Structure 1
Amino acid sequence: MSHVLLNNGAAITFAGCFIQLYFFAASETSECFLLTVMSYDRYVAICNPLRYSSIMIKGVCITLVTMCWLSGFLMSFISIITTSKLYFCGPNIIDHLFCDMVPLLKLSCSGTFGIHMQIYIMGTPAITIPALIIVASYTYIVRAVLRIPSSTGRQKAFSTCSSHLIVVSTFYWTMFSVYVFPIKDITTCMRKILSLLYTVFTPLINPIIYSLRNKDIKKAIQDTIYRH
């Protein structure tokens, strides 16, 4: 993608395009599941703080993360196999920054109704259900936080979720705008900008949002700066 942006376009092989699409779709789907697991982690931490250490043990965390990655790569593999069987006989120019599903289907000479139905069906467990779980988790979190008597306690509880909430809001808003509920009359340029938000911007700000809130990392950065 960086190569395409810097050179105002680039060529990619047919196989390379589908490999790129597969790893893109797999990583994005896995991120949906991972963000959902993170929301559950915060729900347990705030709503059941005394049981947190007994619920979110190391084995449970490893199992949840493994399931997220395996589910993402498996679901994406099914979609890629189906899409690769389409017949492409027309123009071979993808008007996008990378090999995304929607602009790729526009180049197909075959009927794509079945593929679109498959995307919507698989999008329910991959995008919609995780989003609903996140909303439910934060609903319980807000109710629990509002019951905290001290303002300091409420502020501390909200600060625990703020990083995750910022990333979730950016990620899901762009995902829903492009794939689930496309904005009417959206231009190709705007679609590219939205794609950049969840493919480049969100991963770029993750270290800033998550890591810089960690006291140990802050201290390490300060020590490095002062040392030089």
Structure 2
Amino acid sequence: MSVTAIPFAVLRFNYRIARFPLQLIEDQVVAKWDAEAPARLFYERSLGALDATVGGVLGDATLAKRGAALTERSEALAKAAELDAQAAAKREAADAELKAKREKAVAEQKEAREAKEQEVADARQTAEQRKQEAEKTAAERTAAAKKQADEVAAQRKKSVDAAKRDEQAKIRAAEHQATAAAAAKKKDAAAKRDDAAATRAQADRVEKLADAEKEKRQAERADKA
């Protein structure tokens, strides 16, 4: 920023501050007057000329354009006010045409709204039908899946039951085999006990015979002596 630009910036800032009350009057008081009221047009034209002049002096293009626009607007409104009397008939015709256009636009809007409502109703009905079809399809798929799951579960149960029966049969066979083996061992043990008893009895007889023979020999030796 150049040295000469600083004073202009300060002046622009000061002008904004000084203009604030004028803008406040414009917004709070003048804006409530009729757009073509002479006092309002005079005030706006004066304020616009002031903005355009100060903007040109201070090099503020935005302020200058805004002032020029406000001035032009005020002058245009003033000229329009002068021509209102001459344009009354045209204005009435334009109002009538505008009314007709508005009525037509309202009718078209009503038709469009009714068409849109019908379209929405049709869409809702279609959506409801699709929802019902989807629910029916989902229910059928769920039922089919449940049936398949039940069949698989039944098949598994059948397989488990068959495996249990096979296992029980093996257990019974093993028990039977163990029982038979035990019985055979018991029978064999009994036979061995019987053989042992017979052997012991025979041994006892032999021992008795030996004792008798011994006693007989001792008696014979005694007699010879």
If the TM-score is normalised by the length of the shorter chain, which range does it land in?
under 0.3
- Structure (1 or 2) with the larger CA radius of gyration: 2
TM-score between the two structures when normalised by the length of structure 1: 0.25
The one of the two structures with greater contact order (alpha-carbon pairs below 8 A, sep at least 6) is 1
